[in-house]
A and B are shown apart, each in its own frame.
Chain A
Amino acid sequence: MRKELSDACQKLKIPVGEPNQNLYNGSFTIEGGNFNCAGIVSTSIKSILQKLGIPGDLVRKAAIVSYEAEINVVSYAKKAVVNLMVVPGSVNIEVIDEGPGIPNIELAMQEGWSTADQRIREMGFGAGMGLCNIKNYSDEFHISSEIGKGTHLKMIIQTP
C-alpha cells in the first residue's frame, strides 16, 4: 500500500508522504467599487502560490489573470467571490460576480472594446485589454454571463 502510494505520488510529482502539500482550496471576496482595495486578492493568491512552491512564471500568470479579473469586479460589479483551488497539475481560479453581466461576450472579448469610465482609465485600466490579458495568460479560460445577474470566469493555469 505504501509502495503504491509512493509510485502514484512519483507519477503525479507529489512529494512522497505529503500528498496534500500541493493542495489549496480557499475563497476570497471582492467588494465592487472599492478601488483602494483592488489587487489585494491577487496579491494574496500570489503569495499562497509562492508558498506552495509553484514555479515563478506560473505564479505570475495566475497573479495577472486574477488581478485583471479583480479590476473588472471593482470597476463593474457589486461584489464577487474568488475561489482558488490548487491541485497537482493545475491552478484553478474562479471569479463569480454579482453585477450587470456582459450583454455581448464576443464584443467584450475584442481587444480595445471598453465601457470604462474616466475613473477606471485614470487608474491605468479600461483600455479594453482585461479579458484579452486573462485569456492570453490562462491555459484554459471559460466565461459566461447573465444580464442583471453577473459574470462567471474560470481560469486554469497548468503546472508541472
Chain B
Amino acid sequence: MKLSDVKDILDAEVIVGEENLDMEVKTAFGADLMSDVLAFAKSGSLLLTGLTNTQVIRTANVLDIAAIILVRAKQPSSETIALARELKIPILTTKYILFETAGRLYAKGIVGCLPKVENTSGRT
C-alpha cells in the first residue's frame, strides 16, 4: 500500500514528508527499544514506536527505514523534526496505541518485516 493509505488507516497526521505519501510500503516493525530495531528491522519497513527523540531518526536513517509512525499521539521535538527533514525521513503521528496501530495495519495486509526470532542465543 502507499504511505497515504497508512495515513488514512491510522487517521494520522503527517509531520514530515507530505511529499512522500505515494511511497510504497509492505512491511513494519514495532518497538520502543532502538537496539531491537537495529537488531531486527529491515530496510524499507515502517517503524512504529512510542519514542520521539532524535535517536529514533538516527536509527531509521542507519537502517533505511521508509517512514516513522509515532503512536499514542506523540509529538516529536523540534530537533527531531529538523533532523527528519535533513535526512528525508517521513514522520506520521497517530492517536492509536502501538497495539491498535499494529492491528489496524496488519488487518489491511502490512506484514512484519521478519517472521520470527529464533531462540538460539537465549535472548534475555
Q: Do chains A and B touch in the complex (CB under 8 A)?
A: yes
Chain A residues close to B by CB (< 8 Å): 36, 38-39, 42-43, 46, 56-57, 60, 63-64, 67-68, 71, 111-112, 122-125, 127-130, 132-133, 136
How long is the Cα–Cα vector from A127 to B79 in the complex, in angstroms? 24
> Which chain B residue lies CB-closest to A122?
B53
Judge whether B107 is part of the interface by a CB distance below 8 angstroms: no
Which A residues touch B32, using CB under 8 A?
A: 124
List, in ascending order, chain B residues with CB within 8 A of A127's CB. Answer: 33, 35-36
A43 and B55 in contact, given A127-B36, A133-B35 (Cβ under 8 angstroms):
no
Q: Is the CB of B43 within 8 A of A63?
A: no
Neighbour of B62 across the interface among A36, A57, A60, A128, CB < 8 A = A60
Residue B13 CB within 8 A of the other chain: no
Q: How large is the interface on B (under 10, 10 to 19, 20 to 34, 35 or more residues)?
A: 20 to 34
Within 8 Å of chain A (Cβ to Cβ): is B87? yes
Let me know if B33 and A124 touch, CB within 8 A.
Answer: yes
B58 at the interface (CB under 8 A from A): yes
Our pick among A56, A112, A123 for the contact of B64 (Cβ within 8 Å) is: A56
Interface Cβ pair total, 8 Å cutoff: 80
Residue of A nearest to B58 (CB): A39
Chain B interfacial positions (CB closer than 8 Å to A)? 32-39, 43, 49, 51, 53-56, 58-59, 61-64, 79, 87, 121-124
Question: SS class of chain A's interface: helix, strand, loop or mixed?
Answer: helix
A contact residues around B61 at 8 Å (CB): 39, 43, 46, 63
Give the distance in Å from the alpha carbon of A46 to the alpha carbon of B59 in the complex.
Answer: 12
Bound form: Cα–Cα A133–B36 in Å: 9
B117 to chain A, nearest CB (A): 12
Distance between Cα atoms of A136 and B34 in the complex (Å) = 16
Are A128 and B38 within 8 A (Cβ)? Answer: no
* Alpha-carbon distance A42/B53, docked complex (angstroms): 17
